[in-house]
Amino acid sequence: MDNLPKDLPADLPEDSPKNTHQSLDPEDWSAFRQQSHRMLDDMLDFVEHLRERPVWQPIPQEARAKFQVALPQQPQTLANAHQTFMNDILPYGPGNSHPGFMGWVQGGGSPVGMLAEMLAAGLNANTGGRDQMPLEVERQIVRWMRELFAFPDSASGVFVTGTSMANLMAVLVARTVALGKNVRQHGVREAAHQLTAYTSIEAHGCVAQAMDLAGFGTAALRRIPSNDLFQMDTAALSAAIAADRAAGLQPFFIAGTAGSVDVGAIDPLNEIADIAAREACWFHIDGAFGALGMMSPKIAPLLHGIQRADSIAFDFHKWGQVQYDAGFLLVRDSTQHTDAFAAPVAYLRREARGLAGGSPWPCDFGPDLSRGFRALKTWFTIQVYGTEKLGKVISQTCDLAQYLVQQIALHSCLELLAPVALNVVCFRYRDPTIAPANQLNLDDLNRDIVTDLHESGLAVPSTTTIRGQLAIRAAIVNHRTDRSAIDVMLSAVLKLGQERYSAAIYCSK
């Protein structure tokens, strides 16, 4: 500051830089500070009193209309915008923080993660690269994940949006390993043999999407049947690989699932690791929610074999309860990882010192350049709660699933549709006293029960199809879900089912 000129000319022209400078910072910081504290208090109130709210409620047309207006040219106050948030956004969220939320596999977030998000936003770090402490925080998470999954020190990891992106990146790493780095110039069409990949029919849709986006096409993905426990049938996997080899194709990628989206099944990871080693295929695990089960001494043994993967995709935002979004890809061999993504460009030159130091950078491990500071909320969550507590939260959701299974067994009009390995329970309502000819259409009935439940605001399970039958699916992921939330959901299902039967508004099939 000392070498800056101290005395500016007194008669500054009207349009001098001093008079026209536009900043987005407040003119009155103390008023802004007061407003900030109100906003923080409102969110703390929201989280503290979540249980008193409906899980979800339909969005009124007036609220939607507030977001269908012309682009504003003139300012309005922050207090006004905040009021709109309180009235028209906050009450109509997706409900996944609420204890009654069991639809889809989603985490509940935590108050600690919420505050960390604010700190990260204040710092506003772009974590694509450069020598900055936020990257050391991300590297700390990489080290912790190596430890959790017993991966070697040479393993690398990177935050991404979610497991959909991480699965795609794993396919791209495996492709580069199978075909060599030249594939990045010439594409897969120059490969001598067509590459084929394998996953179970229970796998999440984003595995097929990854094959699509990577340029192989979904037809190059073999969907291996599952057994009675909804786990990949490894004999069928071996047979499919042998058939493809006999046809002159090149098997290169096997994706096992640790916690399937529909029923929470865990593939026989250790057996798949053997097959992948024998067949020289990349062994990837989609552990979107299940992988973090490693934090629970009760769940970890079920994941045996996960430590043998070449790569693992998972989400801190599901069982890890970190705020959205916080997906992660862990790769055993960091050289193979960077081979798929790193690219030298002049404007991202690395230096031995200065802000352009600290290579390799996260942008060498994936397709994102600009990226936020996802590591901070993850670090705060793990640091403040510790893995023991987070592991207990994880095993608690599995205990609640078993409680739900017991309750289902006590009611003759409820039927369990799939075995429960972890935290996902698929069941349906049907009246067993009614003759088959007079049965209602059970798919329509259960779909309507779930929709009615959503609109009641009492609980939010979702639906899926299990072996051709529509199921009510309760995915218990949220740390806030407790026995009373399960009881509320179940008694509402029973009541709605009975009402629909007495009204008999369904035709028999």
Ligand X SMILES: *Cc1c(COP(=O)(O)O)cnc(C)c1O
Q: How far is the CB of 10 from ligand X (least distance, A)?
A: 60
285 makes contact with ligand X (CB under 6 A): no
Binds ligand X by CB under 6 A, chosen from 327, 358, 461, 497: 327
Smallest Cα–Cα separation from 363: which of 372, 352, 374, 371? 371
Number of chain positions touching ligand X (CB under 6 A): 15
Nearer to ligand X, 55 or 329 (CB): 329
How far, CA to CA in Å, does 497 sit from each of 56, 139, 367, 431, 447? Answer: 20, 51, 48, 9, 11
Asked if 128 and 273 touch (Cβ cutoff 8 Å), the reply is no
Binds ligand X by CB under 6 A, chosen from 267, 279, 315, 364: 315
Binding pattern to ligand X, positions 23-42, x when CB under 6 A? --------------------
418 makes contact with ligand X (CB under 6 A): no
Q: How far is the CB of 112 from ligand X (least distance, A)?
A: 20
Distance from C-alpha of 423 to C-alpha of 296, rounded to nearest angstrom: 13
Nearer to ligand X, 96 or 164 (CB): 164
User: What's the CA dihedral at 12, 14, 20, 21 to 10 degrees?
Assistant: 0
Phi then psi for residue 269, to 5 deg, are -65, -40
Positions 442 through 481 that interact with ligand X (CB under 6 A): none
Phi then psi for residue 462, to 5 deg, are -125, -175
Q: How far is the CB of 325 from ligand X (least distance, A)?
A: 7
DSSP, res 306:
G
Positions 147 through 176 that interact with ligand X (CB under 6 A): 162-164
Rg for the chain, CA atoms, rounded: 26
Binds ligand X by CB under 6 A, chosen from 117, 138, 286, 368: 286
Based on the number of CB atoms within 10 Å of its own CB, is 131 exposed (0-12), middle (13-18) or buried (19 or more)? Answer: middle
Q: How far is the CB of 105 from ligand X (least distance, A)?
A: 4
Structure tokens at 210: 């990854």
With a CB cutoff of 8 Å and minimum separation 6, the contacts of 361 are 128, 129, 130, 135, 348, 350
Positions 244 through 263 that interact with ligand X (CB under 6 A): 257, 259-261
Nearer to ligand X, 289 or 341 (CB): 289
Nearer to ligand X, 244 or 315 (CB): 315
Q: How far is the CB of 162 from ligand X (least distance, A)?
A: 2
206 makes contact with ligand X (CB under 6 A): yes
Residue with tokens 């072996």, as numbered in its chain: 467
| Sites of contact with ligand X (CB under 6 A) | 105, 162-164, 204, 206, 257, 259-261, 286, 288-289, 315, 327
